[in-house]
Structure 1
């Protein structure tokens, strides 16, 4: 078992070129090094997850962002459009967290949130009502043509969406 490890390729690996490597309890240093060298040889950037972690590295960061964005809207603090505007304007991205959740699929987002909630038991980790309501209406995002935005022409693609 010293030659077993988890690999997590990011979506669109031909574009992001990132792979996370997570050792098991008995994974040898030699295995981690060998796989890291191999990943670099095929043009990937290996990131080492030092110990077992649900979500590896990036998905834990994304999870925190996603959770807070959902609660900002669910708690009535901001609209999903303004959350996305803030994100897109500050980071210079083509879509914000709500557009990304639509792309992933709101049912998938719910399922992922349920995994974290199951592990923590923290009520703030449970999928918020906002998300559950969308799913109950069949609004799952890009795959159904409606989520937080309507597709194929979501509002965040409009030229004036983040203009002052």
Structure 2
């Protein structure tokens, strides 16, 4: 009888159904609230195709919702860019847009608290453009494929 992956110590075992478990994709949408479902659908489809669990997909969808809603609310530019990179262990997401303020997701906000509770790593950075009086906001997060805790 063959050992299960958990019994032989392969905690990061993921079934191989012939799909690639690594990839990168980027999508840019207009910085308008009505584009959020399109972006969310693309992200969801990519993660489901890459065999991420429904829990991970749901967490990433909610994180995308929170981030893009905040960016669109403060948008000064015409677009929001989203890039995903995934492998057998995690998905990394980078969302960016031009905004009128650097305080898009304040530390004490409910959105920020929600994000920090759902993802494994979160960074929010910006670069000011004095001439245009705008900020290039970049929000990055990652989520492990197997969940927040190692079993």
Indicate the structure whose relative CO is greater, using CA pairs within 8 Å and at least 6 residues apart: 2
Larger Rg: 1
Structure with the higher strand share, 1 or 2: 2
TM-score, with structure 2 as normaliser: 0.28
TM-score, with structure 1 as normaliser: 0.26
Structure with the higher helix share, 1 or 2: 1
